[in-house]
Structure 1
Amino acid sequence: MAVHCSNEFTKEIIKAVSVKYLLYLPERYTESDRQWPLIVHLHGAGECGDDLELVKGQGIPYLIEAGKQLPFIVLSPQCPEYEQWDPTTIKALIEDISSTHKVDTKRIYLTGFSMGGYGGWTTAIRYPKLFAAIAPICSFANPKHASRLTSLPIWAFHGAKDDCVPAEGAQRMIDAVNSCGGKAKFTLYPEAGHDSWSETYSNGELFGWFLEHEKC
């Protein structure tokens, strides 16, 4: 595979799992044998389909397309239309990218918004040891699974005025994780509606928080 650096994407298809994705490689990716942290970014329902240009319309891929440089490999798969994010498929995709690129497997991070946030929760619940930290946005999960996430750093985000996915569900999940002894925190934007991802990804604080965490 040809290496594309800086703000260019590599478009590939994993035939084994039939998933299209965008892959961002950091500016200095080719300069050494250094291993890089990996962010897995899961989009919302509006970006599903068969056109990768849709994935660039929101979230981290949108920032990269606009010129933002990040010290991460960023994997942004596209969920097919009328489907939901499948944890086993996400895991297979991560394993494939990790085997073909210079990924620091102790620093794999997962984030997503709306449908992608829900996909992030369910994937982390299924494979909690795969990730160093997760950041689900405007989404929630079933609190009965909270005990599976107690060793995983979590930072969830939500808009207080979200009338699509009420913030109460996310709050209950965060409270459940912490009541089991977990390491979860919650940021509620008082004036934000469903789009709480734009502010989250644009302020840069989340990326620094990711880099604070590494699997033992």
Structure 2
Amino acid sequence: MKQQECKLDKEITKQVKLDYLLYLPVGYEETNREWPLILFLHGRGERGTDLSRLQQYGLPKLVEEQEDFPFIVVSPQCPLYTTWGLESDALLELLDDVSARYAVDRSRIYLTGISMGGFGTWNLATDDPTRFAAIAPICSTGPTEKVHMLKDVPVWVFHGAKDTTVPVHHAEEMVEKLKACGGNPRLTIYPDADHAGLTPVFFNMEIYDWFLQHRRKTSHFE
């Protein structure tokens, strides 16, 4: 099923209107089952009002090219004048809205993003650590002062060793701080990859298999 452009019929936090791409899995309309959901956060260069820009890489590109992907995928677009790090409330309200409209398994909501979206992944998860079953920040850093909030959340971090935009030591610092407070994160460093070189990571099905190994023991809404 191809992605559809979704325009919210209500304005949410701080009068920010987050339009988004929505992918529903093949067979969604023929079954009564609930589906796992991935929230994908793009990088700085895709901000604006043209949703088609999101399809250049990442999950929006993957689900356009792959016939069957077993997740609902929500890919919001960040307005031009802000960043994901400032829009946690808007993103959480978007998740609430999508979860109410569609057959979402709320114990299997996952989060990933790249660059600015990777920072947004760290930040959003620390703002609401009971929401997500697992997260995967890619070529980014995050709020080190809040990382202890994720000690019970499965985390898989990806980074390129030749990244000069966000040097790899930022990812290593996040991982070490999370380990120090009792977390058990994974870290994968690609020795020859720079900042732009990690977009193919989203086509590695191992990430999504790893996501599906994790489920929130208690629903966020219980």
Q: Normalising TM by the smaller chain, what interval? A: over 0.9
Q: What are structure 2's unaligned runs of at least 5 residues?
A: 218-222
CA positional deviation for 1:16: 2.3
Residue 220 of structure 2 is matched in structure 1 by none
Q: CA deviation digits over 1:60-83, x for unaligned, max 9? A: 101122235210000000001121
Q: Which amino acid aligns with 1:10?
A: Q
In structure 2, the partner of 1:46 is 45
Give the alignment's TM-score, normalised by structure 2. 0.92
* Cα distance in 2 between the residues matched to 1:107 and 1:146: 21
**Partner residue in 1 for 2:207:** 206
RMSD after superposition: 1.0
Cα deviation, 1:38-89, whole Å, max 9, x if unaligned, reads 0000000111110000011111101122235210000000001121111111
Shift of the alpha carbon at 1:144? 1.9
SS in 2 for 1:195: helix
Q: Distance in 1 between matches of 2:68 and 2:198?
A: 18
AA at the equivalent of 1:118: F
Q: Which residue number in structure 2 is paired with residue 3 of structure 1?
A: none
| Match of residue 216 from structure 2 | 215
Alpha-carbon distance between aligned partners in 1 of 2:36 and 2:197, rounded to the nearest angstrom: 24
The residue number in structure 1 matching 2:193 is: 192
Change (3 A) 1:54 1:154: same
Secondary structure of the corresponding residue to residue 157 of structure 2: strand
Q: What are structure 1's unaligned runs of at least 5 residues? A: 1-5
Q: How many pairs align?
A: 210
What's the counterpart of residue 127 of structure 1? 128
* 2:3 corresponding residue in structure 1: 9
Cα deviation code 1:9-34 (max 9, x no counterpart): 12112222211100000001012110
Deviation at 1:36, TM superposition (A): 0.2
State the distance in 2 between where 1:151 and 1:48 align.
Answer: 31
- Structure-2 separation of matches of 1:126 and 1:36: 24
Any conservation in 1 of the 2:110–2:211 contact (CA below 8 Å)? Answer: yes
In the TM superposition, what whole-angstrom CA distance separates every residue of 1:143-173 from its partner, at most 9, and x where no partner exists? Answer: 2212111010000100000011111001100
Q: Is the contact made by 2:4 and 2:23 (CA closer than 8 Å) also made in structure 1?
A: yes
3-state DSSP of counterpart to 1:183: coil
Counterpart in the other structure of 1:101: 102
Normalising by structure 1, report the TM-score: 0.94
Q: Give the letter aligned to residue 164 of structure 2.
A: D
> Which stretch shows the higher mean deviation, 63-72 or 132-141?
63-72
For the pair 1:81 / 2:80, whether they are aligned, the reply is yes
The residue aligned with 1:33 is 32
The DSSP-based 3-state class of the residue aligned with 1:162 is coil
Percent identical among aligned pairs is: 44
Quote the residue 2:147 is aligned against.
Answer: 146
Q: Assess, with a 3 A threshold, how the Cα gap between structure 1 residues 178 and 196 changes in structure 2: closer, same or farther.
A: farther
Report the Cα distance in structure 2 between the residues aligned to 1:102 and 1:183, rounded to whole angstroms.
30
Deviation of the 1:183 alpha carbon: 2.1
Q: Which amino acid aligns with 1:150?
A: K
Cα distance in 2 for partners of 1:109, 1:197 equals 19
Cα gap change, 1:190 to 1:68, in 2 (>3 Å): farther
Name whichever structure is richer in strand by fraction.
1
SS in 1 for 2:62: helix
- Structure 1 distance, partners of 2:60, 2:200, is 14
- Contact (CA 8 Å) 2:140, 2:166: kept in 1 or not? yes
SS across alignment from 1:70: coil
* C-alpha distance in structure 2 between counterparts of 1:155 and 1:132, whole Å: 12
8 Å contact kept, 1:157–1:196: no
